[in-house]
Amino acid sequence: MRKWLPLLAISLSTFMLLVDLTIVSVAAPAIADGLHSSFAALQWTVDLYVLVLAALMMAAGSISDLLGQRRVFVAGLVIFAVASLACGMAPNTAVLIAARGVQGLGAAAMYATNAALLGSTYTGRDRSVAFGVWGAANGAAAAAGPILGGLLTEHVGWRAIFLVNLPVAAVAALIAILAIAESRGSTGGRVDLPGTAMFTLATTLVVYGLIRAGEDGWTDPVTIGALLAGAAAAAAFLLLERGRTNPMIDLSLFRQPSFSALMLAGAVLTASAFANLVFVSLWAQSVLGLSPMAAGLALTPLAAVAFVVAGAGGRLLHNIAPRHSIGWGLLLVGAGTLLGMLLGPDSGWTVLLPSLCLTGLGVGLASPALASAALAAVPPHRTGMANAAMNTFRQLGYAIALPLFATVAAEHAGRVLADSGSFPNPDAAAKNLTGGGYPDLLAHTSTGTQHAIEHVLRSAYAAGLDGIFLLSGITALVAGGAVLGLVRSPTRSEQPPALDAVAARGRHG
């Protein structure tokens, strides 16, 4: 049993950091109430975590080559635990947001070293078992996030969703120190600090601009300035990477249609399948009046179906070209999210069951093949970079989609409220509504008109969700078509052994 202790530590860390991506969605109304926060501010509790995780993952991998994978992994656990304590004790939203950013730093250190540590610890059949269990931990995290978030929020309090990380991190760190051998890559540990800094600046400015657009509109000078500055920083990042001998990402890889389409697929998969769940959870709790626990359970069909399909698909689809499982998976995600448009003003949560299950089927087909397909699309000496790039794009898709969906929901809901003539400031009411303010808006209406206003508000929220589902569905369908049309199926001789390729970075660089 001792030989599986490293796998336990690594799987615990992966489960913990991925749960923290989704656990906040169910707890968002309770956090907003407890800290007297706006939904726009709460977006940063999700977005800053994901942004830091995505922006620093490649740099963390390079640092681990220099200092050692185990050392960086344990440091990530410690940072994550301390930041989780700060989140759980946060007296206000600003402290919570800052602590979530530090959590992202710890998560990047853990996630960047997970595959390398597994590869350097296990060989042969044991390695296949280890990566299979690790992959299952990834899937289980998606299913457990909403349930765990609802359970803790309802029965303990929202602060518990962060404090629960402390014992998990302590156990994982202790096992790592006692049972995992140190390993290093041979890349020289060169870290692209200018590229990392510019990439972080560009993504943060773009996300800030999108959040600002949801609050103050697209014509707001600050919105325009942030988006233009983000575009300028992105251009500077591209220029920096072109001129470096050891770039954060080799831009020549994007000249290959297969690689570009796969990066798009990674970003769109998380954006289309998961980012909308934040707004579905707010709808379930504020409009339907479900408890946090019930709202979490309502979201689990997607993750549960994805978990089962991904587990079975690894055996059943072994000889199927990855472009088919990824492409058709994205098409199913697109069809599933479009089914969400069946939701109406008088719908209950069960109307979303077909949507969640079909989307979960698509996620289960597409997600496991993304990593191996990205590795197969690049030369062997770029497999570590391709793996990090895929993880980065998947997180960025979520980070960018969240504020964009908030803007779309508010705009669609605002049109319904404006047409009703019941609200003097329909735009402000729409932002309040789609941010979970349905009970407040209803409470401020007179008893005689409450039934009519209730129907208007429910119709407006349904319209907002329809806008999100429509954008998610179309984007996933386009990405699925791009994968089927652009990703080339490599010949057997060209296919690198995916697990060995990722693991090699942990031993040989």
pLDDT in tens, 363-383: 888 887 887 787 778 777 677
- Cα-Cα-Cα-Cα torsion 464, 466, 468, 471, nearest 10 degrees, comes to -140
pTM of the full predicted structure?
Answer: 0.83
Q: Exposure of 193 by Cβ count < 10 A (0-12 exposed, 13-18 middle, 19+ buried)?
A: exposed
Whether residue 471 is predicted with pLDDT greater than 90 in this model: the reply is yes
| C-alpha–C-alpha distance, residues 300 and 143, integer Å | 6
Mean pLDDT across 337-351: 93
d(CA 47, CA 96): 12
* Tokens, residue 46: 């999700």
Inform me whether the pLDDT recorded for 430 exceeds 80: yes
Reported as a single tens digit per residue, the pLDDT across 41-83 is 777 888 888 888 888 887 887 788 778 888 999 999 999 999 9
Which of 254-268, 421-435, 489-503 is predicted with the least confidence, judged by mean pLDDT? 489-503
| Sequence-ordered alpha helix ranges (H) in 317-382 | 322-339, 353-376
Residue 392 identity (one-letter amino acid) = T
Evaluate if residue 91 carries a pLDDT over 90. yes
pLDDT tens, position by position, 259-318: 999 999 999 998 999 889 889 988 998 899 988 888 888 888 888 888 788 767 656 666
Looking at this protein, which amino acid is placed at residue 447? T
Give the rounded percent of residues in the chain with a pLDDT score beyond 90. 34
| Residues counted in the chain | 509
- Cα 148 from Cα 143, distance rounded (Å): 9
Look at residue 248 in the predicted model and tell me its pLDDT. 78
Tell me what the mean pLDDT of segment 312-331 comes to.
Answer: 79
Choose among 223, 233, 215, 18: nearest CA to 107.
18
